[in-house]
Amino acid sequence: MSGLVIYPGSFDPITYGHLDVAARAAALFDELVVAVSHNVGKTSLFSVEERIELAAQALADIPNARVSHFQGLLVDFCRRCGARAVVRGLRAVSDFEYEFQMALTNRHLAGEKVDTVFLMPNEDHIYLSSSLVKEIARFGGAISSFVPPNVERALRARLKEEP
C-alpha cells in the first residue's frame, strides 16, 4: 500500500506491542505517523511531550516512521496530514467491537475518505497493554520484556516520584 498511515494512541507508555504494530504498518505504507493523543478524559502518567520523546526514541530504527501529536478529532488530524488510512492494533476479540465502531464513525465523519487497517501484534505481545505494564512496574515487577530500555528507565524514574 502506498501513502501515509496514522497510528493513533495514548502510548502511555509505548510498549513492544505498539512497536510491533508500528513496524508492520511501516512495512505496508510509505510513511507512518505515530500520533500521540492528548485525551482530556484520561490521566496520563507521562505528559504528551514525554510520550512523544519516548516513542521517537523507540521508533528510531524505523526510517519511514515519525512521531507527532494531536488533540481533537482523529479525522481532522488525518485531513491535515493528508492521510487516507489509520492503523489500529487488535489484541483480542474484545478490542474489535470498540475499534470497529470507531472505524465506522471515523469513516462517516471523514466522508469515506479515511479507512482503518487492523493489525494484530505478534503473539508474544498480544496480551500487552500500557496499563498492565504500569501496574507491574508500580509493584516492582520485571518489565524489560514489555518495553524498550528507554521506556523502562523513564517508568522506573517516574514511579519513584509517586507518593
- Kindly list the catalytic residues: 18, 42, 91, 130
Alpha-carbon 145 to chain mean position: 18
- Under a CB-based contact definition with an 8 Å cutoff, are residues 116 and 85 in contact? yes
> HSE of 158 in the Cβ direction (CA atoms, 13 Å)?
19
* φ, ψ of residue 108 in degrees (nearest 5): -65, -45
How far CA 7 is from CA of 20, 80, 102, 151, 154, in Å, comes to 12, 15, 14, 19, 22
Q: Quick one: which of 143, 144, 137 has its CA closest to 158?
A: 137
Q: Which helix (H) or strand (E) element contains residue 6?
A: strand 4-9
